[in-house]
Structure 1
Amino acid sequence: MKFSHSLQFNAVPEWSSKYISYSHLKKIIYTLQRDKLYNGELKDTTTTSNNLSTDTEATPLLLAPSVLTLDSNNTINTTNDPYVKEFIKALDHELFKIEKFYNSQETGLLANYHELKDDIIEFTNNSKRNRTPSFADVLPTTPAPIETDTNGNDLESINSHRSMSLESLPIQEQLSRNSWANLFHPNESVDDFSPLDKYKLSLRKRLIAMFTQLSELKDYIELNHTGFSKICKKFDKSLDTSIKSKYLNHIETQSHVFDPITATAINNIIHETVVEYAKLSQNVHSNDLVNYDAALNELSTHLRDHIAWERNTVWKDMMNIERLANNAKRQDLIENQNDSLEKPLQQVGHWDTLPGGIWLLLKSPAIIKFISITTIFILLLKYLIFFEDPLEQNCFAILVYASLLWATETLPLFVTSLFIPFLIVILPVLKDPKDGTTPMDTVSASQFILSTMWSSVIMLLLGGFTLAAALSKYNIAKMLSTYILASAGTNPAIILLTNMFVALFVSMWVSNVASPVLCYSIIQPILRTLPSSSSYTKSLILGIALASNVGGMSSPIASPQNIFAFGLMEPTPSWGEWFIVSIPVSIICILSIWILLIVTFPPDSKVKILRLHASKDTFTATQWFVTLTSIGTILLWCFSNQLSGVFGEMGIISIIPILLFFGTGVLSTEDFNNFMWTIVILAMGGSTLGKAVSNCGLLFTIAEHIKVMIEGKALFVIVLIFGAGIITMATFVSHTVAAMILVPLMGEIGQHLPEDHSRLLIMITALLSSAAMGLPTSGFPNVTAISMTDEVGVRYLNVGNFISRGVPSSLFCYFTVVTVGYLLLRLILF
C-alpha cells in the first residue's frame, strides 16, 4: 500500500489536517524535478505550498528562515543547492505544524493524566480506610481552562471530545460492544453497583480513554516520522541528493515531537496506565502482583473497538463517496475507449425492483446478444446438420456457441469456460473409448471431462503466477528494470528502445499483463517532466504496450495462450527449444516496431529526458531467496525433458516454488487468493473443449475437409495462409480466446499433413496470437496503454494512434514469425 493511503487509513480522523501533507510534498518534488531538468527559473514552491495547503498556520511559518544547515554543528547547509533549500522550506513548514499541534495535545493530555493519577491515589487511600466517597468524589473533574490557537480553534476540544466520546455513549450502546461489556458482571447493571464501585468503574473508563489517547499520540509521532523519512527518500531519488539521513537526524535532535526521549516518555506513561488499570480491574495494590499482559490485552481490545467504531462513524461515508467516484471514473473510461462495448448481464441494474423492469432487461443489448447467440446454438443442434455423427454435430454446436460467447464477451470469459463442461456432459458429446462410436454414459463423461480440467498446464500456470507474485511483491523486477533504465542515458531514441526491451524482459517472467503496469510506474518521473501533447510521450507509452504484446511470445509462461499451446504439443517441447525460436523473433519484432515509432513519432529536439537513477537499496536475504528460487525453477523447466525421469511432467516442477514461497511465509494466503483465477478457469475451459473436439472426432473430420483444400500446397504456403487468418482473428478478439479456438484445430491439421507438423503449426498459432495488436482492445497491454492519463485526466493515446501504429506493427510481426520463426522451427525439426 502506498504511504499516502496508509496515512489516510491510519490517521486519527479529527487530526487529519495535522499530519504531514505527504501528497502535497510530492507535488513540490515533481515541480522541482521538472524545473531542474529544463534548467529554468526556480519557481517559488513556498507560495505554491501556501496556496494549496488548507492550513492557515503557514503564514507565520513562512516569515521564519529555514532552521537547517547540516554541518559539523548538526545543521544542514542549503545555500549550495536552491532546490534542496526550497524543499527544506516546505519540510520546515510541515515540521512547524506538527510540532505545534503535538505540544498542545501533549500539554492537555499530561494534565489529564496527572489529574487522573491523583484521583486514583485518592481512591486507593479511601479504599484502604474503607471510606465511601462523597457525592463530590464522583463528579467529573473540573476541566482546565480552554486554550485556543491563532485561528481561534480550541486546542483542547479534540482531546476533551475524545476523552468523553466513549463515556458519553448510552449504556445500551456500550453493552452492545463486547469489550465494554467486560466492565460489568453478567446479569448486573450499573444501577446495582455501590457508589464506591461506580467511582471505580469511572476510573477504569478514564484509564481506557487515557490509554487510547496515549496510543494515538504515539502513532501520530510514528506516522509523521515515517512520512518525513519516505518523502526525503523520494526527494533524494528524484533530484539525486542525499538529505534524508541529515534531515531525520535534525528533526530528532532539534524538535521535541521526534526526540527519542519524547517517545520513551509516552511509552513509560502507557506502561503506568496499564499497571494502574491492572490494579483496579484485578483488585490488587502491588505492582508485583498485577497481571500486566492480561491488562494490556484488555486495553488493546478496547483500543481496537474504539478504532473500528471511529472509522465506521467518521470514514465510512467518505470512503463510500470516494469509491463511487472511482467507479464512475472507470466506467466513463471504459465507455470512452469503446462506445460499442456493452454492459455484461450483471450490470443491467436493479431491474427486478423497477416498474416494467423485465421489459428493460429484455431490451438490454447484452441480453439481445445472448438470446441471438443461444438461438444460433439451438439451430445448430436441431436443424442445421453439417455432420453425420450426432456427437460431432453436438460438439460443433458447442464449439460455435463458446467461440461466439468468448468473442463477444456477452458473458464473462470464465463463465463461458465453466459452461463448456456442463454442455459436454448433458448433450452428450464424448464417445466411449471401448468402441469409439457409442456415447459415453454421463457418469463416465463427467469424470473424464472434470479430470481434464486440472492438468500439467494448470500447474505450470500456477507456477508462473507464483514467480510473478514473488518478483513483484519484493520489487525485484522493478529494481532490475530501474537499474537497466538508469544505464540508458538521456537519448530519447535509446530510452525508448531500452524501455521496450525492459517490457519484453519483464513479460517473459512476470507475464505480459503485469509488464506494462510495472513499466509505466517506472517511467512516471519521465512522463511528469514531458508535456502531455509531446509526440515522444505517445511513442514511449505505445512502445511499452507493443513490446509487452511481443513479450507475450517470449517464454512459455509469458501469456495464457503460450501455456495453453505448450500443453497441446506432443511431445512437449523444452524451454530451450521455445527460446531458440521466440528470442530471435521477439528481438527482430521489437527493433522493427522501434524503427516504426521513431519514424512516425520523431522526437522533438527541445524535449529533455529525465535521467532515471538506480535504486540504492541493497538486496535483502528474502530478495536473494526469491531470485535464486526463481532462477532454479526456470532452469528446471528448461531441462524438464532431460529430467522427466525425476519429475515426470513439467507441472510437478511448478510445485517447488509454491512450496518454498508459501511454506516459508515469503508469500501469504492473501497473495494466493490474488492469483488471476479467472485466467485459470479460462485455461481449464479451453482444455476441456480441446479434449471434447478431439475425443468425438470433430477435429479429425474438419482436418480431413481442410486437407482436401490444401492438398499439394507447400508447408510454408499453409503457414502464410493460416497465419494471416490467425492474426486477423486475434486482432478482433482477445489473444487467449483466439488461441483456445485455433490451437487445437491447427494441431489437428498438422497431424493430417503428409508429415506431422502439428507442433510447428501450434507454435506459429501461439506466436501470432500475441502479435495481433492493431486495436486498443486487442490485448491486455493495449487496454492498459489506452487507460494512461496525465495529471489532469487527459488520455495520452487515442484509437487512431493504435490503428496507425498497431496495424503496421502486427504486419511486421506476422512476416517475422512466418519467415524467421518458420525457419528456426524447421531447423529444430518441428
Structure 2
Amino acid sequence: MKFSHSLQLNGVPEWSDHYLNYQHLKKIIYSFERAQYNANDADASANRLENESQVLLSSAPSDTDAQFVPHLDKELRKIVDFYSLKEKELSDDVHIAHEHVRLAEEEFQSNPSDESDADYSDDGDEPTNSLPTRRKSPAWYTPKRRRSILGQGDVETQSGRDLSPTPSNTLLPAYKGWIETFGRRSSFRRPRRNSSADRYREANSSGMESITGGIGSVDEANKSVWQSHDEFAIDVRITLKRELTALHTSLCELQKFTELNLTGMVKILKKYDKVTGSHLKSRYVDRVVKSKYPFQAQANARLEENLNEVTHLYATVATRGDVEQAQNQLKAQLREEVVWQRNTVWREMINIERRAQAASLEGDGISPAAADLLAKESKPPRVFNTPWGEVRLPPFLTIGTVQLVSSVLLFVLLLKNPLFQVFEQVEVQNCFALLVFCTCLWVTEVIPLFVTSFLVPLLIVTLRVAREEHDGVMVRKTASDTSKWVFQQMFSSSVLLLLGGFTLAAALSKYGIDKILATRVLRMAGTRPSVVLLAHMLVACFASMWISNVAAPVLMFSLVQPILRNLPPKSPYATSLVMGIALASNIGGQTSPIASPQNLIALEYMKQPLGWLQWFSITIPVSGISLLVLWALLLWSFGSGKGVVIKKIPEPNDSLDKTQWFISAVCIGTIILWCIERKIEWIVGDMAVIAIIPLVCFFGIGILTKEDFNNFLWTIVFLAMGGIALGKGVDSSGLLSALDHFVQSNVEGLPLYRVLLLLVGSGLVVATFISHTIAAVLLVPLAAQIGESLTEPHSRLLIMATVLTASAAMGLPISGFPNMTAINLEDEVGHRYVTVKTFLRVGIPASILSTLVISTLGYAIMTLLGL
C-alpha cells in the first residue's frame, strides 16, 4: 500500500490538514528529478534556509538539499505546532476530567437522597410536574472556577489574550452536557411508594442492574456515586464513562499521529535520496526531526502519564477500581473505534477509486462485464417505439444477458434437438455440446473464466462423456467412476509445477530481489534512448520467465516511472517504451515452462514432455530474435528517441541480506534441478516433485506465510485445471478422434510445414481475441491429435508451435494481461500512453512478425531436435 493511502487509512480524519503532506513533497521531489534531466545550469541559487536547518546545511549543501529542506521545515513546524496545541488541550481535558470525578463525589455526598414532599401535592398524588425539573449548572461550575482548575487566572489578565475561545481552554461540548446532568440531583426527590416512578423502577430493575454493575439492594445512603442506583449517579457514571473513553482514544490517536509523521519523514527522505543521489535522510531525521519536542522521549512520557491518569479515572468510574479491567475495556473501545474509522475511510477510498476508473472509461478497452455494470448503474432504461406502443427493456436485459441466454439455448439444442445432432454416439454429441458451451462462455466472458472451469467437471460427470475400454469395446463410465477420473486429471503434475512457479515468483517479489536485479541490469543500459528501450524489453522478457507475464509488466512499469515522468506530454518515446514492455512481457510467456499456464498445458499433452534444456534451446533463440524484430518495429514506428535525455539510473544502495541470498540459492537450485530432471528422473520421478522444494523451503521456515499462499493467482490455477479436464474429456469421449477424421480429410497429403502454417495461423487469430490460456485449451489437444495422425508423427512439434503462437498473439488490448496493464497506464494529467489504435498499428504487425519467427526459426530448431 502506498504511504499516502496509509495516512488516509490510519490518520484521524479531523486532523487531515495537520499530517505530513506526503503527496506534495513527492511532487517536489519529482520536479527535482525533472530538473536533473536539464542539469546544465549549475548556478541555480539556493532558497532562504529556515532557522531549524541552518546548522545542518552549513557545510556546502547541494542545490537540491537547499531547496528541499525549507519544504521539510515547513511541514515539520506544522506538525510540531499542532502536536503542542493538541497535547495542551488534551492535558487540560484530563485535568478537568479529574476534577469532575472529584466534584461528582462531593455533589453526591453533599446532597444525599432523602424523602421530600416539596414537589408533590398535599393530597398524595403525583408531582405537580410530570417530569422533574433540572436545575442550572451546579454552583461550583463557573468560568472562574474552571480557570482556577487550569491555573489560568482571569481571562483579562493573561497577557491581554482572550483565552475563552481557544481549543485548549474551552470546555469540550461533551463535558458541558454531563455537567448539566449534575443539575438533576437537586430536583430528583424520591416519590412516595406505589408512584409511577417507583413502578417504572421495579419494572426495569433488571436493566438498571446491568448499568450499575449488578449491585444489590443496599442502603442508598451508604453508597458512593459510583455504586448508587440513584438517577443522578447513574447519569454521571454513564456520561463520564463515555467521555473518558473518548479522551483515551484521542490520546492514543495523538501517539499514532507522531508515529505516522515520523514514518512519513523517513520515507519521503529515502525517496528524495534515491532520486537525487543525496544523503539527507540520516542527517535531517537525526539532527532536526528527532530534536523536536513531539519526537522526544519526554513527549511520549507525558502522553503515557495522561493515559495512565485516564485509565485510573475510568477504573474509579466504571470498574470499581480494577485498573486491569479498565485497561482491557479501554483497549476494546479503541479497537472498535479504529476499525470503524478504517472501514469508513477505506470505503470512501474505494468509492473514489471506482468513480475515477468509471470516469476514465471512454469506450475503448472496457470489458463486457464492466460495460454492463456501468450501463445498469448510470444509463436510464432503454425505450423503443413500435407500432404497438413503447417497449421498455428491463435493466437486466444487457448484452451479457443475451450472450448467456444464447449460450445456454445453443447448449440445450445441441443436447436435445435432433436437428443439431452432429455425431451418432451420445457421449460424443454430449461432449461436443459441452465443448461449444464452454467455448462460448470463455470467449464472451459473461461469467468469470475460472467459474466456467468449475462447470467443466460438473458437466463431464452429469453428461457422462468419459469412456473406457472393456474387452476391446469402448463403454461409458458410470457417474461415480467419471467423478474419480476427472478429479485425478484436474490435479495433475502441471498444476503442482504451476504452484512451484508461483512460489518462486512470490519470494522474489516479496523480498525485492526481482527489483534489485532489474535495476542493476537497467543501470548498465546507459542513457541512449534506443538502447534503454531494448534493455527494458530484455529485462521484461527475462522477468516474465520467472515471475510470470502477469507480475513482470507491473514490476517494469513501476521501474520505468522516473523516465515517463520526465518526458513531455504525449511523447512518442513514452508510447514506445510502454508498448515495448507489454510486447516483451508477452514474448516472455514463451520462454520457460512456468512462464504461463498455456506452457504447462502443452507439457500435459506431450506423450514425452520436453525437458527444460530442450525447451530453452527452442524458446531462447525464438524469443531473442522476436525481441530484436519488435525493437526494430518500435524504432521504425515511433522513432529512435532522438533528443530525449535519460538520466542514468543510480547505483542501488541496498545489498542482499541473508534471507535474500537464501531465496536466490533456492530459486537457482530449483531451476538447475528442473534443467537436469531427465538425468535424475530415477530419483525425483517428475518435475512436479522438484516444484515441492521451494514450497517446503519458503513456507516451512516462514519466508512466505499463509497470506502469501492465499494471494496466489488461484483463478489461473483453476482455469488451467478446467482446461486440462476439458481436454481429457474431449479425448476420452471420442470427440477428438471424430474431429481428427474431419481435419485429416482436409490436410491429408499436405506436408508437415503446411500443416504447421495452418495451425499457427488459426492459433494466432483465436488467441488474439480470447485468453492465451483458453486458446491453448482449445487448440493444443487438436494439435496433438493431428500430429499423431501424420504419416510421420510430429505431435510435440505441432503442440510447441501452437503454444508459442498463443503467447505471440498481442494485437489487441485484450490479448493478454501485459496489454491490459499497458492500456490502463496514464500520465500525470490522465492521458493514456497507448490506445487501441496504437495496438492496431503496432500490435498486429508485432504478432504477425513473431509468428513468422516461430514458423521459420522455431520450426528449423524443432526439426533439428527431432520433435
Structure 2 residue 456 is matched with structure 1 residue 420 = yes
Kept in 1, the 8 Å contact 2:104–2:225? The answer is: no
> Secondary structure, in 3 states, of the residue corresponding to 2:470?
coil
Partner AA of 2:329 in structure 1: E
Kept in 2, the 8 Å contact 1:78–1:84? The answer is: no
Q: How far apart, in 1, do the equivalents of 2:294 and 2:803 lie? A: 61
Show the 5 A alignment for 1:415-494: 415-435=451-471, 436-494=473-531
Deviation at residue 776 of structure 1 after TM alignment: 1.5
Structure 1: which 5+ residue stretches go unaligned?
47-61, 170-180, 285-289
1:696 and 1:21, CA in 2 relative to 1: closer, same or farther beyond 3 A? Answer: same
Render the CA deviation track for 1:379-410: whole Å, top value 9, x for unaligned: 43332333332322221222222222212223
Kept in 2, the 8 Å contact 1:499–1:544? The answer is: yes
1:374 matched to which residue of 2? 408
Structure 2 residue 851 is matched with structure 1 residue 814 = yes
Render the CA deviation track for 1:506-551: whole Å, top value 9, x for unaligned: 1111110111111101111111100121111011000000000000
Q: How far apart, in 2, do the equivalents of 1:532 and 1:95 lie? A: 34
Q: Quick one: which of 230, 243, 251 aligns to 1:214?
A: 251
Of the structure 1 ranges 159-168 and 691-700, higher mean CA displacement relative to structure 2 is found in 159-168
> Secondary structure, in 3 states, of the residue corresponding to 1:776?
coil
Q: Quick one: which of 694, 698, 715 aligns to 2:735?
A: 698
Deviation at residue 343 of structure 1 after TM alignment: 5.1
1:409 matched to which residue of 2? 445
Q: Quick one: which of 73, 78, 82 aligns to 1:97?
A: 78
Of the structure 1 ranges 717-726 and 792-801, higher mean CA displacement relative to structure 2 is found in 717-726
1:142 matched to which residue of 2? 146
1:299 matched to which residue of 2? 330
Kept in 1, the 8 Å contact 2:456–2:722? The answer is: yes
Of the structure 1 ranges 135-144 and 699-708, higher mean CA displacement relative to structure 2 is found in 135-144
1:672 matched to which residue of 2? 709
Deviation at residue 183 of structure 1 after TM alignment: 7.9
Deviation at residue 291 of structure 1 after TM alignment: 6.7
Q: How far apart, in 1, do the equivalents of 2:673 and 2:111 lie? A: 79
Render the CA deviation track for 1:124-174: whole Å, top value 9, x for unaligned: 9x99xx9779896997983757999999994438994688899999xxxxx
Kept in 1, the 8 Å contact 2:684–2:690? The answer is: yes
Q: Quick one: which of 783, 792, 815 aligns to 1:746?
A: 783
Partner AA of 1:107 in structure 2: K
1:108 matched to which residue of 2? 89
Q: Quick one: which of 62, 67, 74 aligns to 2:52?
A: 67
Q: How far apart, in 1, do the equivalents of 2:177 and 2:264 lie? A: 29
Q: How far apart, in 2, do the equivalents of 1:307 and 1:641 lie? A: 56
> Secondary structure, in 3 states, of the residue corresponding to 1:142?
helix
Deviation at residue 44 of structure 1 after TM alignment: 11
Partner AA of 1:326 in structure 2: E
Of the structure 1 ranges 676-685 and 95-104, higher mean CA displacement relative to structure 2 is found in 676-685
Kept in 1, the 8 Å contact 2:529–2:641? The answer is: no
1:478 and 1:253, CA in 2 relative to 1: closer, same or farther beyond 3 A? Answer: closer
Deviation at residue 822 of structure 1 after TM alignment: 2.0
1:527 matched to which residue of 2? 564
> Secondary structure, in 3 states, of the residue corresponding to 1:754?
coil
1:604 and 1:695, CA in 2 relative to 1: closer, same or farther beyond 3 A? Answer: closer
Normalising by the residue count of structure 2, what TM-score does the alignment of the two structures yield?
A: 0.82
Render the CA deviation track for 1:239-260: whole Å, top value 9, x for unaligned: 1111000110122454222234
1:400 matched to which residue of 2? 436
Deviation at residue 90 of structure 1 after TM alignment: 0.7
2:125 matched to which residue of 1? none
Deviation at residue 281 of structure 1 after TM alignment: 6.6
Kept in 2, the 8 Å contact 1:14–1:158? The answer is: no
1:507 and 1:358, CA in 2 relative to 1: closer, same or farther beyond 3 A? Answer: farther
Kept in 2, the 8 Å contact 1:549–1:773? The answer is: yes
1:490 and 1:102, CA in 2 relative to 1: closer, same or farther beyond 3 A? Answer: same
2:363 matched to which residue of 1? 336
Structure 2: which 5+ residue stretches go unaligned?
113-136, 182-208, 228-232, 384-390
1:773 matched to which residue of 2? 810
Identity rate of aligned residues, in percent?
38
Q: How far apart, in 2, do the equivalents of 1:474 and 1:439 lie? A: 51
Q: How far apart, in 2, do the equivalents of 1:821 and 1:159 lie? A: 81
1:387 matched to which residue of 2? 423
Deviation at residue 667 of structure 1 after TM alignment: 2.7
Kept in 2, the 8 Å contact 1:460–1:650? The answer is: yes
Normalising by the residue count of structure 1, what TM-score does the alignment of the two structures yield?
A: 0.85
Q: How far apart, in 1, do the equivalents of 2:310 and 2:697 lie? A: 44
Deviation at residue 10 of structure 1 after TM alignment: 0.8
Q: How far apart, in 1, do the equivalents of 2:703 and 2:519 lie? A: 23
Deviation at residue 117 of structure 1 after TM alignment: 5.6
1:295 and 1:829, CA in 2 relative to 1: closer, same or farther beyond 3 A? Answer: farther
Q: How far apart, in 1, do the equivalents of 2:179 and 2:329 lie? A: 17
Deviation at residue 671 of structure 1 after TM alignment: 2.5
Render the CA deviation track for 1:236-294: whole Å, top value 9, x for unaligned: 1111111000110122454222234323443455456556656777766xxxxx875x5
Kept in 1, the 8 Å contact 2:89–2:169? The answer is: no
Q: Quick one: which of 652, 660, 680 aligns to 2:697?
A: 660
Q: How far apart, in 1, do the equivalents of 2:647 and 2:174 lie? A: 48
Deviation at residue 325 of structure 1 after TM alignment: 3.7
1:195 matched to which residue of 2? 225
Deviation at residue 559 of structure 1 after TM alignment: 1.1
Structure 2 residue 68 is matched with structure 1 residue 87 = yes
Kept in 2, the 8 Å contact 1:76–1:247? The answer is: no
> Secondary structure, in 3 states, of the residue corresponding to 1:398?
helix
1:581 and 1:109, CA in 2 relative to 1: closer, same or farther beyond 3 A? Answer: same
Structure 2 residue 504 is matched with structure 1 residue 504 = no
Of the structure 1 ranges 373-382 and 333-342, higher mean CA displacement relative to structure 2 is found in 333-342
Kept in 1, the 8 Å contact 2:382–2:393? The answer is: no
Q: How far apart, in 2, do the equivalents of 1:167 and 1:306 lie? A: 25
Render the CA deviation track for 1:295-324: whole Å, top value 9, x for unaligned: 543332222123334556xxx3x6545433
Deviation at residue 555 of structure 1 after TM alignment: 1.0
Structure 2 residue 31 is matched with structure 1 residue 31 = yes
> Secondary structure, in 3 states, of the residue corresponding to 2:450?
helix
Structure 2 residue 803 is matched with structure 1 residue 791 = no
Higher Rg of the two aligned structures: 2
Q: How far apart, in 1, do the equivalents of 2:677 and 2:171 lie? A: 66
Show the 5 A alignment for 1:174-193: 184-186=212-214
Deviation at residue 205 of structure 1 after TM alignment: 5.8
Q: How far apart, in 1, do the equivalents of 2:499 and 2:583 lie? A: 25
Partner AA of 1:685 in structure 2: G
1:58 matched to which residue of 2? none
Deviation at residue 468 of structure 1 after TM alignment: 1.9
Q: How far apart, in 2, do the equivalents of 1:488 and 1:108 lie? A: 57
Show the 5 A alignment for 1:559-638: 559-638=596-675
1:202 and 1:384, CA in 2 relative to 1: closer, same or farther beyond 3 A? Answer: closer
Kept in 1, the 8 Å contact 2:670–2:694? The answer is: yes
1:178 matched to which residue of 2? none
1:481 and 1:457, CA in 2 relative to 1: closer, same or farther beyond 3 A? Answer: same
> Secondary structure, in 3 states, of the residue corresponding to 1:337?
coil
Number of equivalent positions: 786
Of the structure 1 ranges 368-377 and 686-695, higher mean CA displacement relative to structure 2 is found in 368-377
1:156 matched to which residue of 2? 168
Kept in 2, the 8 Å contact 1:507–1:552? The answer is: yes
Partner AA of 1:85 in structure 2: A
